[in-house]
Amino acid sequence: MSDFYKLQAKTPAGQPLLLNQFRGKVVLITNTATRCGLTPQLRGLEKIHNTFKDLGVSVVGFPCNQFAWQEPLTNSKMEEVCFNKHQVTFQLTEKVNVNGKRTHPIYKFLKNAKKDLFFSFIRWNFTKFLIDQKGNVIKRYGPKVLPKNIEDDIRKLLAITP
- What string of H, E and C letters represents the secondary structure of 27-42? EEEEEECCCCCCCCHH
The domain spans of the chain are: 3-13+24-145
User: Model's pTM, two decimal places?
Assistant: 0.95
Q: What is the pLDDT of residue 146?
A: 98
Mean pLDDT by 10 residues, the chain (162 residues): 90 97 97 96 97 97 96 94 94 97 96 74 95 96 97 94 60
E strand or H helix at 77, and its extent?
helix 75-86
Q: What is the pLDDT of residue 55?
A: 96
Active-site position among 29, 33, 36, 78 = 36
Query: Cα–Cα distance between 15 and 67 in angstroms, integer?
Result: 25
Q: Which CATH class is domain 3-13+24-145?
A: alpha beta
> Residue 141 forms beta bridges with which residues?
128
Catalytic residue flag (residue 36):
yes
